[in-house]
A and B are shown apart, each in its own frame.
Chain A
Amino acid sequence: MNQMLSRRTLLQAAGALVVSFTLVPRGADAKTVAADEVDAFLAIDTQGLVTVYSGKVDLGTGVRTALTQIAAEELDVPLARVNVIEGDTALTPDQGPTYGSLSIQNGGMQIRRAAATARAALLRLAAARLGVSEADLLTADGAVRPRAGGEGIGYGALIGAGGFALKLDKDAPAKSPDSYRVVGTSVARLDIPDKVTGRFTFMQDVRVDGMVHARVVRPPALGATLLEVDETSVQAIPGMIKVVRVGSFLAIVAESEWGAIRGARALKARWSDWQGLPEQARLWEHVRATKVVKDDVTSDVGNAPAALAAGAKRLAATYDFPIHTHGSIGPSCAVAELRDGRLTVWTASQMTHALRKQIAAMLGMKPDDVRCIYVEGAGCYGRNGHEDAAGDAALLARETGRPVRVQWSRADEHGWDPKGPPTLIDLEAALDADGNVTAWHSNFFVPQGAAGNVPLVAADLAGLTHETAMAPGNIIQNSALPYAFPAIRTVCHRLETTPFRPSWIRTPGRMQNTYANECFLDELAAAAGADAIALRRRYLKDPRGLELIERLVALSKWQPRPSPARGQAGAIQRGRGVSYVKYELVRTYIGAVAEVEVDRASGRIHVARVFVAHDCGQIINPDGLRNQIEGNVIQTVSRVLKEELTFDRGAVTSLDWASYPILTFPEAPEVVIDLIDRPAEKPWGAGEPSAAVIPAAISNAVFDATGVRLRSVPFTPARVKSALGTI
């Protein structure tokens, strides 16, 4: 079956690197992508080289290396003999989108199962070949060998050119974690040498023969429609190929990239007026006034309203978390080619299988005639603009008959990627006379919808087939609590609309919800005069959670005392704050302690250090995990201190890094991590969980430092100063 594999080859052509992908046979000869078949996930060629086909893709977090480790370990082959192909709809099974911290937990475990099934089959084949019992054989180094010693048979010779033709066997014996040699070790990332020397091919580097360049020209207001285009405005630009107009979808196609950019800048078009966005200054009033279409009660213990009424001391607070953009450092890009009725799209999409169906629907094609091939782009932290750029490229390939590369500008990315929706949370709680929490009642105001397909911008603007439902992600998770209070009611009010096309950004909902919960719990601790960790311990019944808290206390050298810290003189006030969660209440445990310095005069918060204790069960690659956690922490510090989308009544106005600033080097905290490894447990996700605890840890630390409670992200100097003025 090796001849059927599509190999990416780099061709040096006309001074530019051209990526070419061989055509893949269809019909009876097609490689299976059925997610219950071993052959969908892996192939071994006659030389014993292993190809792993992963529906989950590396979004810049190193998951490809981890998947390589999992396959090499379970198959007992050297790492260097395993290659991973990711997210190619013609070759890789649909393992669902790469989101929700599921690449290892689900995707990796499917690959492990496929490899375990394959290994068992190889043992059977060798036993038959050698006329011995399987019990007398072992697998090592890509071969099956007699336990007693002597000649073995390489996997390549055993399986030959054929496939396994086996279903995934959930009972296939998996290797015991005690015998792991590769899983659990810090294998160096496979992609880094190429990435630090310019040899790596990012999506933005993909070139195909005959390719032309396009830039989209988006409406000046989100809902504006295109009235008129003056094509003469770009006539003089050399290399201009076409002004493409389909409904309100507008783009410039040119021979060169710079020509397309010039064209997009020069093109004169007239658009209708549109002012459908709320006034930013009154965003929270708008959210509160939005129609609620249903309530999701995510926990209901005891009688919270009655317990609240009976409390000795009652507290109430409102928290809000703004609209965020993904802000990938490389704007979205895609290449599409339509040839003989078949469309190929090169894309950095996190969900190529779903995208393929969206594009097919948009263009009225059969999904079988569309192939989406994943190529890694800049770091992707959720459903950003990649799919939309792919939709643009697909439509333009159809309109021009040429292979088209679409590169979004920075303003396209900041203005048109789908956004993390605004989140508003009201909380109330009661304490008894002894400072015990007797009631907790929270109300979250979040858009309706779940994970799913976010409608493509091109389809929307062009008036072509597209989804109409919102897909903000699974944002009601972690609205319920990991604590055993006697009366709890947590309700998510699902809003009919939200101002911008929503999607998920790293830790969607879980971040916002955990922020409100863990800040408000800190308010209760302060009101009760209790140490914030002692209060959490009192209501935490989960031994694994308690162990994590122990580790966090030791790591951060936490001194028990109530907040705020008293008696700080001077311009800079220091504080520490804690936050804890069990991700979605069913997996990864995380706790963080942030140490902050608040400059009272400027209102500047410096997050100096963040301690993280992390338990995601079995760890595949400890250094890779640390890298991911560091990234989660630093990115979330950025989101919490600095980030907020700005907009007028028509469109986003924060269209660059000056108007949407992110954390810089002088501001980045030190991150200190304690990994709790549990090799015998399931590996849980790590892509998002540690981000969930950062906002509250910071807010709580600021309270500890200053006695002022920050309830509105981002914690900008202006907000801090105004809060300090109200003490």
Chain B
Amino acid sequence: MANTLALRVNGRDVEVHFDDPDMPLLYALRDELGLHGPRFGCGLGQCGACTVHVDGKPARACITPVSALAAGQSVLTLEGLGTPERPHKIQQAFIDEQAVQCGYCINGMIMQSAALLETQPSPSESDIRAALAQNLCRCGTHQRIVRAVARAARA
């Protein structure tokens, strides 16, 4: 692999290696770092399944070329947010509301709403819906997801 990039992923210093600077970050996270949180849904920036935070801001890893990142930038994935043993309050709220069907989209839902609550700690229901308007769920879990985010906001 011709290129190397030093990143901070979920609080750990890591190096990712790549030949093609256009390679999306998603493949570095999933294939090189073995992370399962960010998911491949469309590769087109349309569904949100791949969402991570780059320096605290939500980003679609499927359309973020590795070359767009600078050395030392920090990336947070679903794994870095919390664990089954120590879930983040949003993850806990998704558990409490049983806001999952297949769960494939849920990475995006949680990462996007975690970012929402950072900037807007008490969103209304329509704020939540608007914030998730570009995140797709095929199972129809919308009602529970909205409730989970509202619950997390109250927590």
User: Which residues of A does B touch, CB under 8 Å?
Assistant: 12, 15-17, 59-62, 188-189, 191-202, 204-205, 207, 238-239, 256-259, 261-262, 327-331, 376-381, 407, 409-410, 623-624, 627-628, 630-635, 638, 656-658, 662-666, 668, 670-671
Contacts and interface: CB of A to CB of B under 8 A. Distances in A.
A378 B104 contact: yes
A197 B87 contact: yes
B117 to A, nearest CB: 15
B31 A196 contact: no
Contacts of B44: 410, 656-657
Given A192-B94, A378-B102, A198 B77 contact: yes
Contact of B139 (A12, A197, A409, A635): A635
B71 interface: no
A662 B134 CA distance: 11
A383 B136 CA distance: 21
11 contacts: A60-B101, A202-B104, A258-B24, A261-B43, A376-B102, A379-B101, A379-B102, A379-B139, A663-B140, A664-B133, A666-B130
Contacts of B94: 192, 196
A188 B33 CA distance: 31
A525 to B, nearest CB: 29
A331 B105 CA distance: 12
B98 interface: yes
Given A16-B34, A196-B95, 17 more contacts: A191-B103, A195-B106, A197-B83, A198-B35, A199-B79, A200-B36, A256-B31, A258-B23, A327-B138, A328-B104, A630-B144, A634-B140, A634-B143, A664-B134, A665-B129, A666-B129, A668-B140
A205 B40 CA distance: 10
Interface in B72-101: 77-79, 81-84, 87, 91, 94-95, 98, 100-101
Nearest to A669: B143
A381 B34 CA distance: 28
A607 to B, nearest CB: 12
B137 interface: yes
Contacts of A200: 36, 103
B67 to A, nearest CB: 13
Contact of A410 (B35, B41, B141): B41
B110 interface: yes
B102 A60 contact: yes
B84 A194 contact: yes
A330 B91 contact: no
B32 interface: yes
Given A200-B36, A623-B98, A666-B133, A630 B141 contact: yes
B126 A192 contact: no
Contact of A202 (B36, B46, B129, B135): B36
Nearest to B84: A193
Given A329-B137, A378-B102, A638-B140, A196 B77 contact: no
Given A197-B91, A198-B36, A379-B139, A409 B27 contact: no
B49 interface: yes
B40 A331 contact: yes
B142 interface: yes
Contact of B142 (A59, A257, A634): A634
A329 B84 contact: no
Interface string B117-150: 0000000001011101111111111111110000
A59 to B, nearest CB: 7
Contact of A239 (B19, B36, B105, B133): B19
- 9 cross-chain pairs, A with B, having the tightest CB-CB distances, nearest first: A60-B102, A634-B140, A198-B37, A379-B102, A195-B103, A378-B104, A16-B34, A668-B142, A631-B140
Give the one of B35, B36, B77, B138 with max A CB within 10 A.
Answer: B138
B54 interface: no
Given A256-B31, A631-B139, A657-B44, A205 B36 contact: yes
Say what secondary structure dominates the interface of chain B: loop
A194 to B, nearest CB: 6
Nearest to A636: B140
Given A205-B36, A257-B31, A329 B101 contact: no
B60 interface: no
A299 to B, nearest CB: 32
Nearest to B107: A198
A381 B135 CA distance: 19
Contacts of A668: 129, 140, 142-143, 146
Contacts of B43: 261, 409-410
B103 A257 contact: no
B7 interface: no
A478 to B, nearest CB: 21
A189 B98 contact: yes
A329 B133 contact: no
B44 to A, nearest CB: 6
B39 A192 contact: no
B20 interface: yes
B144 A627 contact: yes
Contacts of A632: 140
Contacts of B39: 202, 204, 330
Give the one of A59, A262, A624, A635 with max B CB within 10 A.
Answer: A635
Contact of A328 (B30, B83, B138, B146): B138
B42 interface: yes
Nearest to A379: B102
Given A256-B31, A409-B43, A630-B143, A201 B36 contact: yes
Contacts of A202: 36, 39, 104
B115 interface: no
A61 B138 CA distance: 12
A264 to B, nearest CB: 12
Give the one of B38, B77, B105 with max A CB within 10 A.
Answer: B105
Nearest to A691: B140
A198 B79 contact: yes
B103 A627 contact: no
B98 to A, nearest CB: 6
Contact of B146 (A60, A330, A665): A665
A195 B100 contact: yes
A200 B102 CA distance: 11
A192 B140 contact: no
A620 B34 CA distance: 36
B20 A657 contact: no
A196 B36 contact: no
Contact of B40 (A197, A207, A407, A671): A407
A376 B19 CA distance: 32
Nearest to A624: B98
A17 B44 CA distance: 26
B47 interface: yes
A674 B17 CA distance: 54
B17 to A, nearest CB: 10
Contact of B143 (A257, A328, A329, A671): A671
A189 B143 contact: no
Contact of A192 (B18, B37, B77, B103): B103
Contacts of B130: 665-666
Give the one of A195, A262, A623, A668 with max B CB within 10 A.
Answer: A195
A407 B40 CA distance: 9
A586 B112 CA distance: 44
B84 to A, nearest CB: 4
Contacts of A379: 101-102, 104, 138-139
A262 B20 contact: yes
A196 B83 contact: no
